[in-house]
Amino acid sequence: MKNQLPQKIAILGFIGLVSIGYFLGLSGVPFHPDEQTYLFMSGDVERFFRNPSQLYWNPAHSADLRQKYRLRDAPLSRWLIGIGRQIARKPAPQVDWDWSKDWLTNQANGALPSPDLLLVGRWSVAFLFPLSLWLMFQVAQEAGGVLGGWLAMLLLAGNALILLHTRRAMAESSLLFTLLLTLWSMKRFRKQPHWVAIPSALAFNAKQSCAPVILLCWAMTLLAPAETYITLKQRLKHTFFFGLIFASLTLALNPVLWSDPLRASLAAWEERASLVKEQVAAIRAVNPELVWESSSDRLLGIVAHLYFTPPMIADLKNYLTETQRSTEAYFSQPLHSLFRDTWGGAIFLFLSLFGFTLAAVRVRKSSDSALRYTLTFLWLATALQAIGLIAMVPIPFQRYVVPLIPFQCLWTAKGIEELIRFAKAIVNRSS
């Protein structure tokens, strides 16, 4: 314990210093119109405490904008933003951003949040950043050692996409934290894996795109090897309670489902599918070359966003002129675009693929059952999350690759570790 104390102090000190810089940059991140939507929907906090039934799904209100958002979007971030507003005593805006109108019209309609309200919304989710760094260290350390933990944490802290997308009042910060919490929990609750349902449900309710990892966690309750013998009945018990806890927490976070859980869930599925079709049609009408039509297009697009493309201030080109000044100021900081070029992307792509591939070899050769379990789970989680995004995401929005960034950092760190190990072996042989 005493030997670990200096290391913990060093980690916490690093996280503290990095987080100060991260938080100081919150106000300098260019505005994204979806932030107004999250602020607008965060008013559900007040509605819930006044009259929860206002949030229930009602088939007669299918055209209601707020009901559409409740069915389409995961709720966790809007709850956090609503709570943050309550603490700061800021009212929710009553007008959503209208993408069909220009910037000045939206501003005149009251759809552009004040700097104070926007900052409160960003703080409400950005506070999770230091916790995410700590979890990244823990996950990577369990997969290989202290060096890997430090490397993965450094990579996450300096990742240009993380610095942009998680500092906005949107879903990415809560997604990053809850996904890492789920990965961390898989080893912590190995003997009682049904408890992993809690962080899994939080991750799903942060953003549904992490569903592949959650399904793997559920499957592991039934199929994962155990340190001691577990009967099929015990495994089925873990699987049942995982599903029960996951469903209960998801229901609790989504009052829109309370009036009729089954029909409301089907309506949510249809609404989400309709949204994707609308987005694809809108993009195809303006920039058809941007739509990822095939699996190969999606694979190449995801790799490009994960490693090569500069941080994208906007998903679409509607308001580039209005955000140009803040964009230039943001990118005047070199860290905000660090390694986001051909050479940087190529190096990190090689390192992460190298680490990912070598992990499979380590699993076969390792005599440590706990390490084999951890590496196997993380390897499968990476593969399934990537496959899931390729299957589900035809839209070229850069922020959609955020669920893969923790895995990118993990395997890049692993690749660096392996290169260091090879270098040491060569030095030892020559001496």
DSSP 204-264: HTT-GGGHHHHHHHHHHHHHS--SS---HHHHHHHHHHHHHHHHHHHHHH-GGGSS-HHHH
Give the model's pLDDT for residue 75.
97
Give the model's pLDDT for residue 4.
78
Torsion sign (Cα): 196, 198, 204, 206: negative
Give the model's pLDDT for residue 226.
63
Look up tokens 């829109």; give the residue: 256
Q: Which residues of the chain have pLDDT under 50?
A: 1
Give the model's pLDDT for residue 412.
97
> How many distinct structural domains can be found in the chain?
1
Print the domain residue range for 270: 4-430
Q: How buried is 297 (Cβ within 10 angstroms: 0-12 exposed, 13-18 middle, 19+ buried)?
A: middle
pLDDT in tens, 86-111: 999 999 999 999 998 999 999 999 99
DSSP state of 73: S
Give the model's pLDDT for residue 244.
97
Give the model's pLDDT for residue 3.
67
Give the model's pLDDT for residue 229.
66
Give the model's pLDDT for residue 337.
94
What does the alpha-carbon distance between residue 370 and residue 374 come to, in Å, rounded to a whole number? 6
What are the E-state strand segments in 321-401? none
The H or E element that residue 341 is part of is none
Its pTM stands at 0.95
